[in-house]
Amino acid sequence: MKTAFTNARLIDPATDYDGPGTIIVDGNIIEASGPDVATDQAKTVVDCGGRVLCPGFIDMRAHAVDPQSALAGGITTIILQPDQTSIIDTDAVVERIRHRSVDSQVVSVYPMGAATQGMRGEQIAEIGQMQQSGAVAFTDCNRAVANAQVMRRLLEYANHFDALVVQFAENPELAAGGVAHEGETATRLGLSGIPVAAEVIQIEQDIRLAELTGARLHFALISSREGVDVIRRAKAKGIKVSCSTAPHYLHLNDNALEGYRTFAKVRPPFRSDDDRVALIEGLADGTIDTLVSDHSPKSQDVKRLPFAQAADGIVGFETLLALSLAPVHSGKLSLMTLLKTLTSNPATLLGLPTGNLAPGSFADFVVFDPNKPSRISEKNMISAAKNTPFDTLPVQGEVWKTIADGVTVFERD
């Protein structure tokens, strides 16, 4: 049974193709894609009405699997972080998650394994076996592997398996007790700060180790101008580093904490506006490789607390596309570059078969209208947790259809 998606603006970031075209899906495989594809064999024809059709988004940092919410955001591949109820640090847990993902056949879930046992930063976890079971990268999630010796050995060992190590760039000593960006806002609100140096020092230290070991290293959630600059220089030197940030860092600065808004409490913290602008520049020039949602659903119980005690995190699946499109609409970022950070770049980094529209690959793709105006509304969110600071924010861009494994799993009028 074949389905044709016609009259679409095809964007395949893997091949830099951007033009009108049609996609033929046969079962769960893309049979053909391009401008001159015959649709006469297709049983169903879907008119995309000129909307953008691109590979399904790969969210490289999610703390929970929330399938319906992810699909509504156009995400067909979730990279689950190891900070689950039972930490993902053995191949058995990895296997269970992969099996569940294959069985459900909706969203593909690939776990990242813990880089060190119990994410304690002391002993290297069983990277090889976890990788065999399907773990795509290794990280201690929201803790940095701060010990330089452990990190060095981790990189050397992971390099043997060509496994990607993902570091949370925050020096734990400098960040100890901190809950906000160290600056005027934190000073006035009486919150203890995390200086930018906490991020930069960790990045600089680990870049040296990446250089020493020749291993691949990825920094999760860069938040500062300095951080972007350091990584830009390392890339120019040919060191195998990459990094990501989340769309909320492109929108908010530390002013969002005004009135002790715990919905704006994230880690790393929202920094100054200069840092925010630098992140957009870093995306535009390719220094920042991927955009992630950092989806972390949190209930009111852990958010409605005094700021220092409240949990970090934002629900990000459903707002990922709309928030990421804002710099595109303001002319600071091309649509192609943005879609690379959401599809082909994470696929390359993690060695995933998805993230492209080439004939023969899995039919995971999303059709979205980049210009459709709407308001982010927590009431309309599918996600059970509603911890977003963006409620009522006017945005442009909405997912129309999400196709996972050849099946239309989400659609909107």
- Closest to 342 measured CA to CA, from 251, 246, 275, 248: 246
At its nearest, how many Å lie between another protein and the CB of residue 196?
10
- Dist CA 27 CA 44 (whole Å): 12
- From the CB of 114, what's the least distance to another protein, in Å? 28
Q: Residues in contact with another protein, total (CB under 8 A)?
A: 22
| Contact (Cβ atoms closer than 8 angstroms) between residue 378 and residue 81 | no
Pair 78, 109: CB distance under 8 Å: yes
Please identify which residue in 46, 64, 119, 186 interacts with another protein, judged by CB under 8 A: 186
Encoded one letter per residue, x for contact with another protein by CB under 8 A and - for no contact, window 187-206 reads: xxxxxxx-x-----------
Length of the chain: 413
Token pair, residue 302, equals: 């852990």
Nearer to another protein, 110 or 270 (CB): 270
Tell me whether residue 29 or residue 305 sits nearer to another protein (CB atom). 305
**Quick one: which of 368, 363, 370, 365 has its CA closest to 400?**
368
Question: Can you tell me which of 12, 89, 126, 182 binds another protein, judged by CB under 8 A?
Answer: 182
> Among 114, 109, 123, 164, which Cα is nearest to 143's?
114
Radius of gyration of the chain (CA): 21
Distances in Å between the Cα of 294 and the Cα atoms of 16, 122, 298 are 26, 25, 12
Among the listed ranges 9-17, 63-71, 177-185, 392-400, the one in contact with another protein (CB under 8 A) is 177-185
Q: How far apart are CA 181 and CA 186, in angstroms?
A: 6
Report how far residue 51's alpha carbon sits from residue 38's, in angstroms, rounded to the nearest whole number: 19
For residue 389, the minimal CB distance to another protein (Å) is 16
> Closest approach of Cβ 383 to another protein, in Å?
22
Nearer to another protein, 134 or 268 (CB): 268
Residue 180 C-beta: closest distance to another protein, Å: 10
- Nearest CB to another protein, comparing residues 309 and 330: 309
Kindly state whether residue 177 participates in binding another protein, applying the rule CB under 8 A: no
What three-state secondary structure class fits 370?
A: strand
User: Which span sits near another protein by CB under 8 A: 117-125, 180-188, 350-358, 382-390?
Assistant: 180-188
Which one, 9 or 265, has the nearer CB to another protein? 265
Shortest distance (Å) from residue 397 CB to another protein: 34
Strands 17-26 and 2-12, by their bridges, are antiparallel
For another protein, the binding residue among 47, 122, 162, 184 (CB under 8 A) is 184
Rounded CA-CA distance 397/70 in Å is 16
x/- mask, another protein, residues 271-310, rule CB under 8 A, reads: ------------------------------x--xxxxxxx
Site string for another protein, 123-162 (x = CB under 8 A): ----------------------------------------
Run of H or E including 3 = strand 2-12
- Whichever of 15 and 300 has its CB closer to another protein, that residue is 300
Shortest reach from residue 190's CB to another protein, in Å: 3
Q: Which of 142, 63, 75, 141 is nearest to 342 (CA)?
A: 75
Do the strands 407-411 and 217-220 form a parallel or antiparallel pair, or are they unpaired?
Answer: unpaired
Residues in contact with 300: Cβ distance below 8 Å, sequence separation at least 6, in sequence order: none
Please say if 47 is a catalytic residue.
Answer: no
Check 12, 83, 140, 294 and give the catalytic one: 294
Binding-site ranges for another protein (CB under 8 A):
182-184, 186-193, 195, 259-260, 301, 304-310
Catalytic residues: 294
